[in-house]
Amino acid sequence: MPGLLDLPNELLFDIIRYVDSSPYVSSPNQKRYRPGPQSRAVVCFPTIDASWPSHTRNLLFVCKKLHYEADFYFSKAPRAFELDIAIVNNHWIWPTWTYIPGTKIDYVIEDLKINLIHCCSEDEDENASSVTDSASWATSLDFLEIISHFLRSGTSTMSFEGTDMPKRNPNFRVKTITINVDTASIRKGNEKLSEEDVPFRQVQGLGHLTFDPLYYIETDTCLDNLDRLFNFVLVAVSRLDHGLPIRERVDWMVFSADGLTRSAISIAKIKSTMDETRIAEDRTRESV
């Protein structure tokens, strides 16, 4: 019977990646919490910070051969972070890390991949389309703040919207942020989302609200909200203070469905245009 190290490299590397991509310690009682201060208190992180590196990573170093294969994989693996963000009832925002690279991350990250999940609770299910037809400006601002927080503080949820930033690996620069809607996973009818898709559904301090089960939102509504988010980010990056961290530290933002690009923003181009405009205005003032 073949052992783990007898598998083809492609399959072995898939297993290594899977073992290394378990950011959270499994716990049946794990909940979400709302870190303070928050302007609207709608962003709910898992109560346990995502482990970095993964708590399961030591399993890859149980023998020299596996250690060697794991190190080789890490040396070639892209420096990409993967994050699920569930928008519940077009109000609550639930981030959940799904993959954190096992390699040491320096200042520059290749990709931040965000899987956007729109869903609703049982009491909102009958009005699902009306609940999510208009993605609110405030929800988009909070969504943007999650990205800004990652750029400043990494995967830690400490000091969200606060001034005291954790010292571990802050101040990232990301080449590409991709926000994707996976329409292939959206079920029709009255089907529920699995716990694997959206975990940790109890929120501290919100015991009076029921978030289990959660239901899918129609595909067209999800795509409409993705397009609205693109339009909001386009304005925010060039005009709002909330867009400053992204403007300074991100090159591209891509909005996609099933991995196919629907729209994209060249942040570097926007910043270059803004700099040119500012220089021209300064020269005009100096000449007056």
Give the pLDDT confidence of 224-263 residue by residue, as tens digits: 999 999 999 999 888 877 788 899 999 999 999 999 999 9
Q: How confident is the model at residue 132 (pLDDT cuts 50, 70, 90)?
A: very low
The residue with greater pLDDT, 100 or 97, is 97
Is 10 inside any structural domain?
Answer: no
Is 24 inside any structural domain?
Answer: no
Is 68 inside any structural domain?
Answer: no
> What pTM was computed for the model?
0.84
Is 59 inside any structural domain?
Answer: no
Q: How confident is the model at residue 129 (pLDDT cuts 50, 70, 90)?
A: very low
Is 5 inside any structural domain?
Answer: no
Helix and strand numbers, DSSP H then E, in the chain: 7, 9
The residue with greater pLDDT, 198 or 73, is 198
Report whether 145 contacts 212 (CB < 8 A). no
The structural domain count of the chain equals 1
pLDDT over 90 at 181, yes or no: yes
Separation CA 281–CA 287 (nearest Å): 10
The residue with greater pLDDT, 162 or 93, is 93
Find the domain containing 179 and state its range.
35-52+78-287
Is 65 inside any structural domain?
Answer: no
Is 197 inside any structural domain?
Answer: yes
Strand segments (E) across the chain? 32-33, 45-46, 80-88, 92-99, 108-121, 173-181, 214-216, 250-257, 260-266
The residue with greater pLDDT, 180 or 77, is 180
Residues 6 or more apart in contact with residue 117 via CB below 8 angstroms: 84, 85, 86, 87, 193, 197, 198
Tokens of residue 261, six digits: 């690009």
Using the structure block, give the residue that is written with the tokens 């403007």.
Answer: 247
Separation CA 223–CA 245 (nearest Å): 26
Is 9 inside any structural domain?
Answer: no
